[in-house]
Amino acid sequence: METIEDGDFRHEDWYGDELADRRYLRCTFSHVDLTEASTRGVVFEDCTFLTVRFNASSHTDSAFLRCVFKGCNFFDADFSGCKMTGSQFPQSVLRPLRVEGGDWSFTVLHGRDLKGVSFRNVRMREVDLTGSDLSGATLSHVDLSGAMLGSTDLTGADLRGSDLTALDPLTVKLKDAVIDGDQAVVIAQALGLTVR
């Protein structure tokens, strides 16, 4: 695998490019166009993305480890089997977004507009979703253990099959959210109720 260290990529047009089997370490990407680009088996580690367009891009079995995405646009992007561990998304547009599988643990999505996004079969342990708007989102079979969910809007969200042990039903909006029977027990117990 080719490794590129401390690279500085500015105002580059990677529209529709196919990236595979490379590793970017401590690189900066500023105003790079990755619209409709695809990555497969690519590793970005400790990288910074500034105003990068990921519109309609697709990412398979790639890793974005401890990266910062500031002011980026992920409109209609797809992530399949990717690792986003420890990454942050300040001022980024993240919808609509589809995530299938992979590990988004320890990511910081604090205060983000995530209405209608889809996370399925994703590990999101200790993710920071404080104050985020996930109304109408799908969080199906997601591991949210240890997640920070204070003031999160889950109105109308599909939460079936997900770990909700970190959810305090008194600090989130849950109206019309869809849960399964086991989750109903978890929420009832969080409210101090005894289920028999």
Mean pLDDT within 132-143: 98
Check whether 193 has a pLDDT greater than 90.
no
Mean pLDDT within 100-109: 98
Decide if 179 contacts 158 (C-beta within 8 A). no
Whether 79 and 107 map to the same domain: the answer is: no
Structural domain includes residue 88: no
Structural domain includes residue 89: no
Report the predicted TM-score, pTM, of the whole model to 2 decimal places. Answer: 0.94
Predicted pLDDT at 190? 87
Q: What does pLDDT average to over the chain?
A: 97
Per-residue model confidence as pLDDT tens digits over 31-87: 999 999 999 999 999 999 999 999 999 999 999 999 999 999 999 999 999 999 999
Whether 106 and 189 map to the same domain: the answer is: yes
CATH number for 156: 2.160.20.80
| % of the chain residues with pLDDT over 90 | 94
- With a CB cutoff of 8 Å and minimum separation 6, the contacts of 93 are 72, 73, 74, 75, 113
Q: How many separate domains does the chain show?
A: 2
Decide if 37 contacts 13 (C-beta within 8 A). no
Structural domain includes residue 158: yes
Whether 4 and 63 map to the same domain: the answer is: yes
Q: Helices (DSSP H) in the chain: which residue ranges?
A: 181-190
Range of the domain at 141: 94-196
Structural domain includes residue 38: yes
Which of helix, strand or coil describes residue 6? coil
Whether 58 and 140 map to the same domain: the answer is: no
Whether 101 and 178 map to the same domain: the answer is: yes
Structural domain includes residue 65: yes
Cα 162 versus chain centre, distance = 15
DSSP 143: B
Tokens at 153, concatenated: 């809007």
